[in-house]
Amino acid sequence: MAEPLADLLSLLGIGVVALLAWAALAPFEALGWWAGWFGSNIHTDDLSIDLPDAQAPEAVDSYLVFLSGIAQVGGESLSRRERAFLDRLDERLPQTIVIDDIFPYSVNNLPLTGQPFFARLWGWALRRKLSDNWLERLGGYLINLRNIWQVAISIDHRYGPIYNQAMARVIAHGLARKGYDPEQPAPVFVMGYSGAGQIAVGAAPYLRELIGGPVYVILLGGICGSDPGLLAVDRVYYLYGEKDTAQRLTPILLPGRWPLMWYSDWNRARRRGRIVFRSLGPMTHAGGTGYMTASQHLDDGRTYQAATIEAIEEVVAENVPHSHWEGL
């Protein structure tokens, strides 16, 4: 009886050590990129280059960059629910160009399935993720874990400035692809969903420097550390669901978010009113009762999806110069 237990414990121990070793090696991607080992290219092979020449430039008054949660494998692999949500958001914000093809867990926008050494592994994990069998789907969580390491890299003060600068460049590149004019910098909203909240907060100050225009962060059920970016961007909107336990409980693991750490960037940003908290309703973190679902309704009859989109519209309307709206 004792032997199988010992074996199980050894296996568990090996598993934990393997996980930690994987985590320890994770920063090499960002570090190697910074040192120039992988070139400075930003991956855009299959992405659309879409300068809004046909659109009158004055019709565009802002840009919104959506960064997806940690389940993503590449810039163009959004879930059906996310796709529907973003299409609807795009319709509701006709003067805002919505950019949703950025992969926030890679320093050069390279999707996991295009990585030089591990493409096959990620392809395998992606197939598991899409499987109907719950046991097989466990394999898909490798992707989530891998992306969690990238979020941790963005939080870490040693790697954060490297990773976040890389992400700011990827986002700026995305803006350029969609015709952003640095001569007349329009407001940019960087919206991080779930773990991408940290990436949004981390990258935003560098993005602000790059484009020379206002940058606002929208955290949608967002998880972020006590990042200096909270104090450096124009404003952070913290949109959350009452039943979203992930965004409520994760800060326990992040000492900078504890009230006790009164001088942390998070607490200072809070005191200065830089973080605006808005409850959206009884949404959970993800899935069929999450922010993007269209099959659940609030008491007032709006779908969860509609309520979330309305909250985002409000943030945009509050920050885009009034003259733009008057001219419509």
Partner 1 sequence: MSEFSTVFLAIPGSETLLPGFAELIRRALALDSSVYRLVAGVGNGLGVALLVVLLAGLSEGVGQSIVLFINHITPRRFVLSLLLSAVTHAVGYLFWAASIWLVGMRLFGRGEEFAVVARAVGLAYAPQLFGFFVLTPYLGSLFSLIIGVWTLLATVVAVHAGLGLTIWQAVACSGVGWLLVQIARRTLGRPLLAFERWAENRAAGVPLRWTVADLRRIRLPADWRSLVRRNRPGEKDDG
Based on CB atoms, which residue is closest to partner 1, 21 or 59? 21
Contacts 24+ apart (CB under 8 A), 135-144: 140/71, 143/70, 143/71, 143/72, 143/73, 143/112, 144/70, 144/71
Cα distances from 102 to residues 66, 117, 136, in angstroms, run: 8, 21, 27
- Using CB under 8 A as the binding rule, whether residue 211 contacts partner 1 is answered as yes
Q: Kindly write down the DSSP assignment for every residue of 186-229, as one continuous string.
A: --EEEEEETTHHHHHHHHHHHHHHHH-S-EEEEEES----S-TH
- Using CB under 8 A as the binding rule, whether residue 85 contacts partner 1 is answered as no
Burial of 280: CB neighbours in 10 Å, binned 0-12, 13-18, 19+: buried
> Angle at CA 290, nearest 5°, toward 284 and 294?
145
Burial of 231: CB neighbours in 10 Å, binned 0-12, 13-18, 19+: middle
Q: Rounded to whole angstroms, how far apart are CA atoms 33 and 31?
A: 5
Which x/- pattern over 226-265 shows residues binding partner 1 (rule: CB under 8 A)? --x-------------------------------------
Rg of the chain on CA atoms, in Å: 20
Based on CB atoms, which residue is closest to partner 1, 32 or 321? 32
Least CB distance from residue 122 to partner 1, whole Å?
19
- Using CB under 8 A as the binding rule, whether residue 41 contacts partner 1 is answered as yes
- Using CB under 8 A as the binding rule, whether residue 182 contacts partner 1 is answered as yes
- Using CB under 8 A as the binding rule, whether residue 298 contacts partner 1 is answered as no
Which x/- pattern over 132-171 shows residues binding partner 1 (rule: CB under 8 A)? -----------------x--xx-xxxxx-xx--x---x--
**Listed ranges 41-49, 131-139, 263-271, 293-301: which one lies at the site for partner 1 (CB under 8 A):** 41-49
Based on CB atoms, which residue is closest to partner 1, 153 or 312? 153
Based on CB atoms, which residue is closest to partner 1, 81 or 169? 169
What residues numbered 97-136 form the site for partner 1, per CB under 8 A?
108
- Residues 6 or more apart whose CB falls under 8 angstroms from that of 36 comprise none
Based on CB atoms, which residue is closest to partner 1, 174 or 241? 174
Least CB distance from residue 99 to partner 1, whole Å?
13
- Using CB under 8 A as the binding rule, whether residue 172 contacts partner 1 is answered as yes
**Listed ranges 40-48, 85-93, 115-123, 275-283: which one lies at the site for partner 1 (CB under 8 A):** 40-48
**Packing angle, helices 134-155 and 2-25, rounded to 10:** 50
Going by C-alpha positions, the residue among 192, 166, 244 that lies closest to residue 70 is: 192
Residues near partner 1, by CB under 8 A? 20-21, 23-27, 31-32, 34-37, 40-42, 44, 49, 51, 108, 149, 152-153, 155-159, 161-162, 165, 169, 172-173, 176-177, 180-182, 209-212, 228
